[in-house]
Amino acid sequence: MKNTALHKANYFVFAVLIIGPFVSCHNPESRPNLAHKKEQILLPAPNKTAPKSKLTKRLVPLTDENLVTELTKYGTENRETMVMMKTPKGTIKIKLYENTPLHRANFIRLIKNDFYKGTMFYRVINHFMIQGGDSDDWERQTIKQKMGSYTLPAEINKENIHKKGALSMAREYENNPEKRSVSFEFFIVQGTKYTDGELLGAQQQYKLNISPENKTIYKTLGGTPHLDGQHTVFGQVVEGYDVIDSIAGCKVDEGNWPIENITIDFEIIN
């Protein structure tokens, strides 16, 4: 049972919520209503005691001024691209993209310093995404200070789309024209499958230019195309799609926080 004394995080994430009830995932003929609305939702972060982090010796706190230099150097020295996420629902294997070098280096840096160990998924919306990666407990605030206070420059690539299993970074929407990512909070796309008509509607509504190849992906694998160009996608799930569905389908409270604590830990594979 989670602590009801919730702390509010300082970060916003872009969400498009379906108006009306969600369609049943058991009915393949049902499709979500494309009448979406944009909302900025203030996200709560878990109030869970953090384990002691094994911070790297001589870790340089990052700032907006030094992060490009420091993360470029860190990425050169730490070239891992495959990680395993461990949850009570199962494991998820993720491939990190090399065409988003700062986001990849930042993620590896956080994992190697045990930042995510013991955090939880705290925002779960079925047929949309599962989000975690931060906590406002006292001990993790200390870890944050050692990691640094910074945001990441956007590394948005047309080939990195928000298909099912995409690993993407949250960001603030107010006063952030450069679409810089926040430091810690990530989400994994579950999404839904689209028809040709729905993709046409999404393109018109959100002024998207979806390639024929990506249309095929959104029709067969599914995803959330309206997030393309808005967040930096820096990795892709390669194993564990059923775990995404299991987490996304769990029971949540009125704030989309899972009733059951779904903890997170990472292991670097290579």
121-164, pLDDT tens digit by residue? 999 999 999 999 988 777 788 889 899 999 999 999 999 999 99
- Tokens for 2, please give them: 């989670």
The reported pTM is: 0.82
Lowest-confidence region among 35-44, 76-85, 222-231: 35-44
Spatial distance between the Cα atoms of 52 and 54, rounded to a whole number of angstroms:
7
pLDDT score of 53 more than 80: no
Lowest-confidence region among 49-53, 115-119, 149-153: 49-53
Spatial distance between the Cα atoms of 87 and 241, rounded to a whole number of angstroms:
13
Say how many C-beta atoms besides its own lie within 10 A of residue 97's C-beta.
Answer: 20
Position 255 scores a pLDDT of 95
Residue 169 contacts residue 103 (beta carbons within 8 Å): yes
Residue type, 162: H
- Tokens for 122, please give them: 């705290």
Position 253 scores a pLDDT of 97
Q: Which residue has the higher pLDDT, 35 or 229?
A: 229
218-231, pLDDT tens digit by residue? 999 999 999 999 99
What is the mean predicted confidence (pLDDT) over 184-209? Answer: 97
Lowest-confidence region among 30-44, 93-107, 244-258: 30-44
Q: Which residue carries 């987490």 as its tokens? A: 247
What residues does each domain of the chain span?
Answer: 7-49+62-268
Residue 54: pLDDT band (50, 70, 90) is: low
Nearest CA to 75 among 62, 85, 86, 84?
62
Mention every residue, 6+ apart, whose C-beta is less than 8 A from residue 267.
83, 84, 86
Q: Which CATH superfamily is domain 7-49+62-268 in?
A: Cyclophilin-like (2.40.100.10)
Spatial distance between the Cα atoms of 8 and 140, rounded to a whole number of angstroms:
14
pLDDT score of 24 more than 80: no
Instruction: Characterize 149-181 residue by residue with b for buried, 16 or more Cβ atoms within 10 angstroms of its Cβ, and e for exposed.
Output: ebbbbbbbeeebbbbbbbbbbbbbbeeeeebbb
